[in-house]
A and B are shown apart, each in its own frame.
Chain A
Amino acid sequence: MWIICKRELKGYFYSPQAYILMGFFLVLTGFLFSDFIIRSNDPSIQYAMSSWPIILLFIAPILTMKLFTEERKYGTEKLIFSSPISVYEIVLGKFLSVCLVYLSTLIFTFVNVIIVFIIGKPDMGIIFSSYVGNILLGFSFLSVGVFASSLTENQIIAGVISFGLLLFFWLSDLLQGMFSGISQNLIKILSLFTPYSAFQKGIISLSGVIYYLSFTGIFLFLTIRVIKSRWLQ
């Protein structure tokens, strides 16, 4: 697992890809943060953080789209799958690598937190739970991206599929009002953002944590299934 993860991380950081995406994320979040503080005169970060998932909605597909498609493009999947290493190790290794890229990006956002601490007295608890929420939601996003990249040989198509899926999970939150009864509940379950609001209020709910972790788990499991049934059959 670490072997695969290490190689992917090298791939991200030896090329401009990771830096461009990280820079994009940090510039946008930084801009939203300063914009909010200047306009509202309220030295808190959690409101700015609530927009992070939307930025990640665009970044996660780009970050993940090459994971499996590139192996197929270069034919290197034959090297990996003929090696004494199992499919789940490969999938987990790749997922781990994008998670680490995401987490290392989040480390840089601590600058914002430090600024908040300098100019005011923020609520530590809310900042902490917002971070936990963003991390868990981010993992879910990335798992969808990993899944999409296993579906096709084309990077662009993989990116579009994962963007479409994420958009669906995001929009289903907004679509709730159009339905009623069971269908509304169903859509509520599908929405990735329903549990997110609790984290924003400073609550680390167990159900939310379990929701995101099982969502991630399901998509990673689906990726393994896809590889076993479509690549190795």
Chain B
Amino acid sequence: MIEVLNLSKSYGPIDAVKDISFSLKKGEILGFLGPNGAGKSTTMNMLCGLLVPDKGKIKINDIDLLEYPKKAKRHIGYLPEIPPLYPEMTVIEYLLFCCELKKISKNKQDEVIRVMKLSGTYDVKNRLIKNLSKGYKQRLGIASALIGDPDVLIFDEPTVGLDPNQIREIRNMIKSLSKNHSIILSSHILPEVNALCDRIIIMNKGEISAIDTPKNLSLSLQNVSQLLVEIEGPKEDVLYTLSSIKGVLSVEIVETINDKLYTYKIEGKKDIDVRRPIFYALADAKMPILKMEVKNMSLEDVFLKITLNENNKGGHTFVDNM
């Protein structure tokens, strides 16, 4: 659907996007994740033909966007961060205008009714846009992106500024749209990307730091395995037994349940499974394990780790609010 090769864009001395390449497959939801100013919006704007890249190639449905912009843009529906609405128009007028802009050849009325039903804006069809709530404005923005049934939908932070109910509705809508469209969305809300996306691109300072499925991302970046274990027994003995096991890097008490029962956090080397040695060692010492839990690194941890590490590498400690 989309092929991006060695895309670069700089604003004066600042490199907004540095030499990035990726592709979008049919029916896939691809998430862009990164702190503010990471280059997500710049990349999206280039994909929609709003910005001319300094270098690189963008192919949409095998059509070169830079060579044949008019033809390529027909395959894209774009929802910018702020939905592009004319406040003095009614919902129907606006969508009809979008139909004309996108040069829809089939019956415009039918197309408008189709997208209004899909996006849930049918109830407000005759209202002036300036009187609509934020949630409806966002839906209308999505409706305008859907006009002409484009193959690729690009949503820039689609749930920003909505209340939790509306966020859920918009997410469900995006999920259902992915049946017939390929979708790129950007966000700095981690659970959102985690829940919606098939693949995630983590961007930082204009570069792609990681690109993988949410699950693989959290797996591959764990270089330690963490266990939470509830063990009954005097804590000094438990600590001694545990730290003498091969492969255990550190042990600490995270919770005191009573004077005999504690929860320990055990960090082990990634490639050694320490669960069995722990079980046998504690069994020998007659200190029963009451609960054992493998702690996975959440996507948030991964994200922080990647972006913080790279920021530190560059000599900066700048992390944006997330």
Contacts and interface: CB of A to CB of B under 8 A. Distances in A.
A73 B49 CA distance: 20
Interface string A66-81: 0000000011111111
Interface of A: 3, 6-7, 10-11, 14-15, 74-86, 232-233
Nearest to A81: B50
Contact of A82 (B73, B86, B100): B73
B70 interface: yes
Interface of B: 45, 48-52, 69-71, 73-74, 76, 78, 80, 82-88, 93, 97-98, 100-103, 144
Contacts of A82: 48-50, 73, 76, 78
B88 A14 contact: yes
B78 A78 contact: yes
B73 to A, nearest CB: 4
B83 to A, nearest CB: 8
B70 A79 contact: no
Contact of A81 (B49, B88, B93, B98): B49
Contacts, number: 65
A124 to B, nearest CB: 41
Contact of B85 (A76, A77, A85): A76
30 contacts: A3-B100, A3-B101, A6-B100, A10-B93, A14-B88, A74-B85, A74-B86, A74-B87, A75-B84, A76-B84, A76-B85, A76-B86, A77-B84, A78-B45, A78-B48, A78-B78, A78-B80, A79-B80, A79-B101, A81-B49, A81-B50, A82-B49, A83-B73, A83-B98, A84-B71, A84-B74, A232-B50, A232-B51, A232-B52, A233-B52
Most buried by B among A14, A77, A80, A82: A82
A109 B101 CA distance: 35
Nearest to B54: A233
Contacts of A14: 88
Nearest to A11: B88
Nearest to A7: B97
A86 to B, nearest CB: 7
Contacts of B48: 78, 82
A15 B101 contact: no
Contacts of A10: 93
Contacts of A7: 86, 97
B84 A74 contact: yes
Nearest to A3: B100
Contacts of B98: 79, 83
Contacts of B73: 82-84
Nearest to B144: A79
Contact of A75 (B51, B80, B97, B100): B80
Contacts of B97: 3, 7
Contacts of A78: 45, 48, 50, 78, 80, 84
B88 A15 contact: yes
A85 B51 contact: no
A85 B84 contact: no
**A-B residue pairs, 8 tightest by C-beta:** A79-B84, A82-B48, A83-B101, A76-B84, A84-B70, A78-B80, A3-B100, A84-B73
Given A11-B88, A79-B144, 11 more contacts: A3-B97, A7-B97, A79-B78, A79-B84, A79-B101, A80-B101, A82-B73, A82-B76, A82-B78, A83-B101, A84-B73
Given A74-B87, A75-B80, A75-B82, A83 B102 contact: yes
A15 B86 CA distance: 13
B51 A233 contact: yes
Contacts of B101: 3, 79-80, 83, 85
A51 B67 CA distance: 49
A6 B49 CA distance: 24
A220 B98 CA distance: 25
A82 B144 CA distance: 12
Contacts of B50: 78, 81-82, 232
A92 B144 CA distance: 24
Contacts of A6: 100
Contacts of B45: 78
